[in-house]
Amino acid sequence: MQGLEMLSNPTFFVIQLLNSISMGMNYFIIAAGLSLIFGVLRVINFSHGAFFMFGAYTCYTVSEAWGFGFWPGVIAAGIFLAAISVFLERTLFRFLYDKEHLMQLLLTFAIVLIMGDVAKVLWGTDQYSVSYPAALTGAWNLGVTYYPSYRLVLCGIGPVILLGVWYFTERTRWGRLTKAATQDREMLAALGINVPVIYTSVFLIGSALAGIGGALAAPTNSPVPGMDVFIIVECFVIVIIGGLGSLWGSFLGALIFGVVYNFGSVIFPNGQDVFAYLLLLVVLLIRPWGLFGKPEQA
């Protein structure tokens, strides 16, 4: 096959591998927020993709329309989505914590529809473009090939966010409290801990990650209505492969998804999604709870 012959070229193979990592790391940033919210709050947040879309649009507004630059746009996207998430968590999501998953999906899908219409009112239906950061418009010489600087930076941002989230959830008092809230929030509240504040902070961080992920994706995926639909499906594939609620599982799942998607596009052009969903099927058949997930306790 022509695709396999192309992969035998070391330069082409390295390019595809780096494409897989950069794509996977961008997806991981988004999926990490989705996994964090489910892991602590036990809410299946289907509106997470809409947060991603708002992050991309916010980055465009701040960086292009207002002229403040790309990185201020990324920061603004995280802050804006954090503010939106606090409002939604206090008014809607906190009533979902004890509800069944079907109710959660219905409400979050309604939020998707509302946010989609709001995005059209604010930004219209045009497709926008976001420029790469001025310092990252070129390519770096890796010896075997040149590779876009921005994509290389994406490869590094993912692990940094992984370690940052891991540290706060595993090595801080806040992390211990969130774990306690997941296991027995009534007992935690009886000890004088403000559990609603912990839940709000978790939802805020998860949503901010979606906004940042959308902003980082804006230069390669132009902000356009409906972009949230594709990303949420792919992020659910990632977190299901890795295990719902597992941060490291989301990281590995994102890398696997990136590799399968990019190399699959070479071997089977226009059919790369098939490989990703086949992988999901295999994982569900072997480990229904995901690679790093744990079976639900009865």
Model confidence band, residue 266 (pLDDT cutoffs 50, 70, 90): confident
Residue 297 lies in a domain: no
Number of other CB atoms surrounding residue 278 within 10 Å: 12
What pLDDT sits at residue 3? 54
Enclosing domain of residue 254: 2-286
The pLDDT of 262-285, averaged and rounded, is 82
Residue 137 lies in a domain: yes
Tokens read off for 248: 């490291």
298 pLDDT more than 50: no
Average predicted confidence (pLDDT) for the chain: 89
Model confidence band, residue 268 (pLDDT cutoffs 50, 70, 90): confident
Compute the distance between CA of residue 258 and CA of residue 264 in angstroms, rounded to an integer.
10
Model confidence band, residue 150 (pLDDT cutoffs 50, 70, 90): very high
Residue 294 lies in a domain: no
Q: Could you tell me the CATH number of the domain that includes residue 40? A: 1.10.3470
Residue 80 lies in a domain: yes
Range name among 27-31, 153-157, 249-253, 288-292 with the lowest pLDDT average? 288-292
Question: Quick check: 28 and 162 in contact, CB under 8 A?
Answer: yes
Residue 293 lies in a domain: no
2 pLDDT more than 60: no
Count how many domains the chain has: 1
Residue with the bigger pLDDT between 65 and 187: it is 65
4 pLDDT more than 80: no
- As a whole-number percent, the residues of the chain with pLDDT over 70 amount to 96
Residue 291 lies in a domain: no
The pLDDT of 108-120, averaged and rounded, is 94
The pLDDT of 250-275, averaged and rounded, is 85
Q: How buried is 218 (Cβ within 10 angstroms: 0-12 exposed, 13-18 middle, 19+ buried)?
A: buried
Bridge partners, residue 146, by sequence: 141
Residue 292 lies in a domain: no
62 pLDDT more than 80: yes
Residue 172 lies in a domain: yes
- What does the buried/exposed string (b/e) look like for 236-255 if buried means 16 or more CB atoms within 10 Å of the residue's CB? bbbbbbbbbbbbebbbbbbb
6 pLDDT more than 70: no
Compute the distance between CA of residue 102 and CA of residue 152 in angstroms, rounded to an integer.
40
The pLDDT of 39-49, averaged and rounded, is 89
pLDDT digits (tens, 9 = 90+) for 161-194: 999 999 988 889 888 888 888 888 888 888 888 8
What pLDDT sits at residue 117? 94
86-to-110, 153, 215, 248 alpha-carbon distances in Å? 18, 30, 19, 26
The pLDDT of 106-132, averaged and rounded, is 93
What pLDDT sits at residue 1? 52
pLDDT digits (tens, 9 = 90+) for 9-35: 788 888 999 999 999 999 999 999 999
5 pLDDT more than 70: no
Model confidence band, residue 39 (pLDDT cutoffs 50, 70, 90): confident
